[in-house]
A and B are shown apart, each in its own frame.
Chain A
Amino acid sequence: MMGKAVRERFEELKKNALKDFPGMDGKKGITIYVGTATCGRSAGSLEVLSSFEDILKTLNIEARIVQVGCHGHCYAEPMAVVSKPGWPPIMYGYLTPNRAQILIRRFFNEEDPALEWALGAMEENDIVPTVYETPRWSRERRWLLKNCGCIDPEDINHYIAVSGYEGLTCALKIEPLEIIEEIKKAGLRGLGGAGFDTWKKWDICRDAPEFPKYLICNADEGDPGAFMDRTILESDPHSIIEGMIIAGYAIGAESGYIYVRKEYPQAVSVLTTAVYQARELGLLGKNILDSKISFDIKINQGAGAFVCGEETALIASIEGKRGMPNPRPPYPANRGLWGKPTLINNVKTLASIPKILVYGNEKVSSVGMEGCMGTAVFALAGKIKNAGLVEIPFGTTLREIIFDIGGGVPPIIKVSNVAGELPKTIKKQFKAVQIGGPSGGCLPESLLDTPVCFDTIVETGAIMGSGGMVVLDEDNCAVETARYFLEFTQKESCGKCTFCRIGTKHMLNILADITQGAGIMEDLDLLEELAETVKQGSLCNLGKTAPNPILTTLCYFREEYEAHILDKRCPSLECKDLIAYYIIPEKCQRACDACVGSCPTEAIYTRRDRLKAIDQEKCVKCANCMDACPAQYDAVIKISPISQLPESEPRDDNRSN
C-alpha cells in the first residue's frame, strides 16, 4: 500500500519539477549552462559567466543562464553548453570572457556556432558531431557522473526532472532485505577504496541488535590528486542524499551524517542547500514521500586531517574527539558512533545506490569484470593531456585510461624567439602511474595492461584507493616521488602508533638521504624492512598503506635507487642535489643573453669567448635559464652526476656579468 501513495507523491513532485526545468533540447528557449564547480572557478568560469551575461544583455537576447557542476573535463575548463532552438546543444571548452562574447555574437548574429571552440554536440544531429564520438566519451560509461555538469546542483527540481529520487521511490516499494539483495546482486563494492562488499556491511549493521543506528557518508577526500568525491558533492549532491535515504531505510537508521572536509567550502554550501531543499519537499524528515519512513541528515565539517578518512577516526571526530583511529574489532557496524551500530559508506558508493535501483541489478552487473561489477571513477592528474574525471567500466586497462581516454603524456612546448619560427615540441616518455594516492603504488609501463579492479590492482602492490591517478613522465624521479608521498603520510600520521609515527619518519629520512646523494646500499635493505614492518604492524590503514609507494618503486624502479646511491646520479634529472645546470658552449649563441636576466641569483656570467656560463656556486637550480634559452639554441642542459660537469671557463673580467 505504501508503494502507491509514494509513487503518487513522487509523480506530483516530478510534474512540478519539469515545469521549470529548461532541459537541453532548447524547447524552452535559449539556455546557457556554465560549469561553476571548483575546477571551473579556478579556471575563471565566473568571469566567463558574467561575460555571457553582459553580451546577452547588450545584444538584447533573452536567454537563461544556468550554473551547473563539472562534467569531469577539467582540462577544458571553463566550459559551457549552449542550447539554442534549431540547433543541438553544443559543448564548448577552453572559454575566456572574450571568447564567450565572440561566441554569442557569431552564434546569434551570424548563425555560426564557432565550432572551432566546440568539443561536440550533446545530442545526435546532422550538423555537429557529438562529444560521445570523441575517444574520451566513447569509452566512458557515465552512471555516477551522469548528471554532473548537466543540472543545477542548487536546484532540487533539476535533479527530480532528470528522474532523481526515482530510485528512492522504487526502494520504498520493497522491503529493506530486498534492497540489500538487489545491492548484492549488482555486485557493488565500497568505492572508497577498500572494495569491501557493500551489501555485507549493510547486512551486519542491519542485524546489529542495538538502536538507534547511524549512517555516515564519508566525504573526507584527502589524497593529493584526487577530486572525484568533490565533483559529485558539488555537481550532483542529491544523488548522495538519495543514496543515504535508501541506505538508512535498508539498515534501519533514521539519522545520517555527511562528514565533509572543511577545505571543500563549495561542496559544503551546495550540500547544505541540497539538504534544506530535500527537507522542504518532504524527501528528508518524517514520513518521507508520505511513507512511514523517516530520515534526516546533518552535515559535519572535518578539520582537515587525512586520517579522518579512516572509519574509526572519522567517528571519533564526529563525537568531538581527536581524530585518532581505534583498533577494530569492534567494527563500526556493531559499535560505531556513540557506541551504536553505524554504517559508513563513501560518497561514490552511496551515489551508486539510486542507480542500481533504477537500472536494476542485471544492467549494473552486466558491466565490468568478474568480481568487480559496474563502473569506477578516476581522477586523472599529473603529466596527462586531458586531466579530469573519467568513469569507466571495471576491467578497462590502465593503458586505455591513460592513453586512449587521457590522451597520454603531453609534450613540452618550447618557444623560439625568432619571428616566424615554429615552437619546438619535445616529446616526453611515460614513466609510471601512481594509483591510490599516498597509500597507493607506482606502476611502470609494463603493468599498463592490467585491467582495473580492486583485486588486480592490489596484486601489483598498489591499491585502488579512492581513485586518484597521478601520471609521471621521464622527468619524474621514482625516489623523489616516494619521498614526496612519505612526507605527506608522515605529516598526516595521527601519532598514535609506533610504526606509523616513528617508522614513516625513518623511511622519510632515508629517502631524503638518497635523493640528496647521501644514501648507502645498506639503506635499501633497512628501507625494505621498515616498509614491510610498518605495513604489517601499523594500527590503521594510513600506516598500513603508507609504505606502498616505497615498496612499489623499490620493486619496479630499483635501478633508480641504485643510481642515486652508487653513481650519485638521478636518472630523471629531478633531484636537485644530484644535478647541475650547464650551458653547452657549442650551442650557446654570442648575440643572445636571454638567460642572463632570468637568473634570480646572477649566476650566469660571460666567458672570455663571450659565450655564457653558469657559476655553480651561485646557481640555485631553479631552471629559469633552461626555460629562457630560446628553442632554436636549446643550450642549457642538466647534468647528473655533478662530477661529469666540464671544467668551468674563466670569466671575461671586462664585463659585469
Chain B
Amino acid sequence: METLSLTINGKEIVAEKGKKVLWAALENGIFIPHLCSAGENSLPFGGCRLCFVEVEGKKEPVASCTEEVTDGMIVNTRTASVLRLVRMAFELIMSRHPIICRECPANKKCALQDISREMGFKLKPKKLPQILPDLPVDDSHSLFTYNPNLCVLCGLCVYICNEIVKEAILDFNFRGFITKVGTFQNRPLAKAKCNSCLKCVEACPVGALSRK
C-alpha cells in the first residue's frame, strides 16, 4: 500500500494514500471534533462542519473529513481561523440542543460532551441565544425512542439504515431549521415496520435515538 507523510500540528505522521485528513489525525491521537463522519470507507456527509483544519497553501480552512492527505502536506488543527469556525459551529449546534445532560440517555457517552471537554468549549453557547424547537418525540416503537429535539442531524442513523442495514426506513424530513430524521411521510416509527436491529440507536452520537 502506498504511504505518504505529512505533518499535523507539527507532528510528522505517515498515512495511506487516499486517506482523509480527519482519520489520519485521529489514528495518530490528534483530536479533531467531528459528528457526522461515518467512518473511513463511507462517502463523507459533510454536515456537522466541526472538522475544519488549516492546510498550508489553502486560503481558507477545509473540512478534514473530505480532504485527502497529500505528501508533504502541512496541517494545523487549532489556528485562529479554524477555531473561529469550529467554535461557531459548536455554538450553533448547542444553541438548538437542550442542555439537560443529567436526564439524557446519552449522558457520559455523548459526542457533544467529548468535544466540549477536548476543545475546552462550554456546552452552553456564549454568544447565541438558545432556540429550542419543541418537536414531538416519537415514542411509538417498542424498543427505542427518537427525540428530534436532541438530534444534531449528523445523519449517521440515516446512513446506517440505508447503506449498511439496507432497510431504508430512515431519511430526513422537512427543510430548514425544522429538518428532522423520520420515516417516509413522517409516519410513526412503529408503522414503518423496520427490522428493529437498533443499529441506528448504536450509531447515534447523542441522546436523540435511545433504547427503552
Contact = CB atoms under 8 A, between A and B. Distances in A.
A537 B131 contact: no
Interface in A412-462: none
Contacts, number: 104
A505 B61 contact: no
Nearest to A330: B43
B77 interface: no
Given A501-B176, A505-B131, A537 B95 contact: no
Interface stretch (B10-18, B44-52, B103-111, B191-199): B44-52
B78 to A, nearest CB: 16
Contacts of A493: 175-177, 179
A497 B85 contact: no
Contact of B66 (A327, A505, A536): A327
A501 B179 contact: yes
Interface string B42-77: 011111111010000000110101100000000000
A492 interface: yes
Contacts of B66: 327, 329
Interface in A73-89: none
A329 B46 CA distance: 11
A605 interface: no
Given A506-B92, A506-B128, A537-B88, A498 B48 contact: yes
- Size category of the B interface is 35 or more
B179 A495 contact: yes
B44 A327 contact: yes
B207 interface: no
B95 A506 contact: yes
Interface in B148-173: 153, 155, 171-172
Given A536-B60, A537-B85, A537-B89, A494 B179 contact: yes
B117 interface: no
Contacts of A505: 96, 131, 176-177
Interface string B118-146: 00000000011101000000000000000
A307 B49 CA distance: 18
A161 interface: no
A530 B89 CA distance: 10
Given A493-B175, A495-B176, A495-B179, A502 B92 contact: yes
A210 interface: no
A327 B95 CA distance: 25
Nearest to A532: B84
A506 B176 CA distance: 12
B96 A502 contact: yes
Contacts of A526: 127-128
A432 B50 CA distance: 37
Interface of B: 43-50, 52, 60-61, 63, 65-66, 84-85, 88-89, 92-93, 95-96, 127-129, 131, 153, 155, 171-172, 174-179
Interface of A: 305, 307, 322, 324, 326-327, 329, 490-499, 501-506, 509, 526, 529-530, 533, 536-539
7 contacts: A326-B43, A327-B66, A495-B153, A506-B129, A529-B127, A533-B89, A536-B60
The 8 closest A-B pairs by CB, nearest first: A495-B179, A327-B46, A502-B92, A533-B88, A327-B66, A505-B177, A496-B47, A498-B49
Given A324-B172, A495-B172, A537-B89, 12 more contacts: A322-B171, A329-B66, A495-B153, A495-B174, A495-B178, A498-B93, A501-B179, A503-B88, A536-B60, A536-B61, A536-B85, A537-B85
